[in-house]
Amino acid sequence: SYGDLQNATNGFSSSNLIGSGSFGKVYKALLPTENKVVAVKVLNLERHGAMKSFMAECESLKDIRHRNLVKLLTACSSIDFQGNDFRALIYEFMPNGSLDMWLHPEEVEESVMPSRKLTLLERLNIAIDVASALEYLHIHCHEPIAHCDLKPSNVLLDGDLTAHVSDFGLARLLLKSDQGSFLNQFSSAGVRGTIGYAAPEYGMGVQPSTNGDVYSFGVLLLEMFTGKRPTNEFFVGNFTLRSYINSSLPEQVLDAVDGSLPNNGLRVGFPIAECLRLVFEVGLRCCEESPTNRLAMNEVLKELVSIKERFF
């Protein structure tokens, strides 16, 4: 209930704030009834739709389960003591934070900064986890679900660095629970994706789709293995990286991964540059300009698993 949540989060005090995103603030809380640490996302929408449809849509979101999706535990909808409409989503807590902070530690506060870089194998495992989650949403759910806003801050890591995709179904939740506010959110918030990760056709008014998610995944993959954000020279229009693929990979690409491991854990005789080249090729095939030329998520997953099996 709202009262329980108020207690669990200490009345949403700033000391429990763990992040702030396009839809609202995220707090860490202890649910006393279950003695469980959770993440509470308090939605900050311009206008809330009917509570009943919000709760119904949350119920159907709870049924979407996969080992690489962040589990939605429950939802809360209430009127707070000031008479304001209050909506929150309660997720399982991910102790290792978001992939974004692992990829760009120089940009985060010292208290949450990871103590080391991710190894090449850890990156490949995370990429496989995210691809599995998307394959599930796109192909194995009873109706295909497009994530619409895949990016490193929506990839969360649990205690053993298994990746769990978050914010899936949020676009649908807003669409189904209130058409009007969804349209408002369209222009301002992340439903249409995030610059750098959103497929080019979204900018031309095309509806978000599973093909669009593949594009975002491609960008994420390239970012994971170059350490560069999408606005960087590595893939302005993809051309720079594409041209590297046809020659040899520049040394600074290797700086992204943890060089402290001997040969990065690769099998003897399997060069890192060759492994990266194959990963980049997958990324670029996801980032094709034309949506129908992009790989499908089951193909992406197969390619990544085969790279892992070959090199490690």
Active-site residue among 100, 129, 149, 213? Answer: 149
Interface residue with ligand ADP, options 5, 39, 75, 241 (CB under 6 A): 39
Q: Is 93 near ligand ADP (CB under 6 A)? A: yes
Q: Is 70 near ligand ADP (CB under 6 A)? A: yes
As measured in angstroms, the least distance from the Cβ of 71 to ligand ADP is 9
Q: How far is CA 180 from CA 45, 46, 57, 177, in A?
A: 11, 10, 16, 9
Q: Is 26 near ligand ADP (CB under 6 A)? A: yes
Q: Is 94 near ligand ADP (CB under 6 A)? A: yes
Interface residue with ligand ADP, options 85, 97, 245, 291 (CB under 6 A): 97
Contacts of 65 (CB under 8 A, 6+ apart): 71
Q: Is 249 near ligand ADP (CB under 6 A)? A: no
Nearest to 282 by CA among 215, 230, 203, 229: 215
24-31 sheet: strands from edge to edge: 17-20, 24-31, 36-43, 85-92, 72-79
Q: Is 166 near ligand ADP (CB under 6 A)? A: yes
Q: Which is nearer to ligand ADP, 128 or 156 (CB)?
A: 156
Beta bridge partners of 164: 156
Interface residue with ligand ADP, options 2, 7, 16, 18 (CB under 6 A): 18
Q: Is 102 near ligand ADP (CB under 6 A)? A: no
Q: Which residues 175-194 are close enough to bind ligand ADP by CB under 6 A?
A: 190
228 is in an annotated binding site: no
Q: Which is nearer to ligand ADP, 99 or 279 (CB)?
A: 99
**Which residue stretch of 133-141, 152-160, 252-260, 285-293 sits at the interface with ligand ADP (rule: CB under 6 A)?**
152-160
Q: Which residues 214-243 are close enough to bind ligand ADP by CB under 6 A?
A: none
Q: Is 167 near ligand ADP (CB under 6 A)? A: yes
As measured in angstroms, the least distance from the Cβ of 161 to ligand ADP is 14
Contacts of 104 (CB under 8 A, 6+ apart): 227, 229
Q: Which is nearer to ligand ADP, 21 or 49 (CB)?
A: 21
Q: Is 21 near ligand ADP (CB under 6 A)? A: yes
Beta bridge partners of 24: 43
Q: Is 22 near ligand ADP (CB under 6 A)? A: yes
Judge whether 149 counts as a catalytic residue. Answer: yes
Tell me which residues are annotated as active site: 149
Residues marked as binding for ATP?
A: 41
The residues binding ligand ADP (CB under 6 A) are 18-23, 26, 39, 41, 70, 91, 93-94, 97-98, 100, 153-154, 156, 166-167, 190
